Chains A and B, each alone.
Chain A
Amino acid sequence: TQLLEQSPQFLSIQEGENLTVYCNSSSVFSSLQWYRQEPGEGPVLLVTVVTGGEVKKLKRLTFQFGDARKDSSLHITAAQPGDTGLYLCAGAKAAGNKLTFGGGTRVLVKP
């Protein structure tokens, strides 16, 4: 059983549509990171959220950290084929502590 549950596992949408990826846990995290990984490459950090209720925007990507710091979501507006990839959430229990990764959400944006 994974400490961080991501849903959905796979998402296939048309260019221009919106999508949301969820990351849920019964545990509290001091911080939560979102990464995007492309095949054959390492994960690239998108954002770090640390405050309950925090919302961060990165162009068409909106990240939210739950009030209780147990869950997070990633929303992509007007998805583009370049958004295709594996999206991973990862939580840390304390600063400098190891990360626990969710199972990942594979996103495919078709032109």
Chain B
Amino acid sequence: GAVVSQHPSWVICKSGTSVKIECRSLDFQATTMFWYRQFPKQSLMLMATSNEGSKATYEQGVEKDKFLINHASLTLSTLTVTSAHPEDSSFYICSASRPGLAGGPGDTQYFGPGTRLTVL
């Protein structure tokens, strides 16, 4: 169990266009999902926390008007990169928080396979 999918797995777009990335938890409901960005040979950088039915919480330095997040249901969150520029090219990864069992380690984040965005 605990499978998270992302779509698309890769996308190439022209500068100035918008790109939408979907993140789905396939076999569990996730009230909280997270969006990360990863540059080559670097660790994950948290961009925002997405809560179902409410506005996303963005990390410092992340433009909320550029990276639009919508968490429409307990199994789907979307990240839209608006007016994309070449510097937005990166590997975007989402994770879904699965509630833990009583007495267990608490919530666990399960990651999607990532989406590679290339902006020309």
Contacts and interface: CB of A to CB of B under 8 A. Distances in A.
B109 A99 contact: yes
Contacts of B61: none
Contact of B106 (A90, A95, A101, A104): A95
Contacts of B114: 40-42
A1 to B, nearest CB: 14
B27 interface: no
A91 B107 CA distance: 12
A53 to B, nearest CB: 15
Interface of B: 4, 6, 32, 34, 41-46, 49, 91, 93, 95, 97, 99-100, 105-114, 116
A48 B2 CA distance: 15
Nearest to B108: A48
Interface string A74-111: 00000000000000101010011011111110100000
Interface string A46-57: 001110000000
A30 B106 contact: yes
Given A101-B43, A104-B42, A104-B43, A95 B116 contact: no
Given A43-B44, A95-B100, A103-B43, 19 more contacts: A33-B108, A40-B114, A41-B113, A42-B4, A43-B111, A44-B111, A49-B105, A92-B107, A96-B32, A96-B99, A98-B46, A98-B49, A99-B34, A99-B109, A100-B46, A101-B44, A101-B46, A103-B42, A104-B42
A65 B106 CA distance: 16
A42 B116 contact: no
Given A40-B116, A42-B113, A31 B106 contact: yes
A50 B111 contact: no
A85 to B, nearest CB: 12
24 contacts: A31-B106, A35-B111, A40-B91, A42-B4, A42-B93, A42-B95, A42-B111, A42-B114, A43-B93, A44-B111, A45-B108, A45-B110, A45-B111, A48-B108, A49-B105, A50-B106, A92-B106, A96-B32, A96-B97, A96-B106, A99-B34, A101-B46, A103-B43, A104-B42
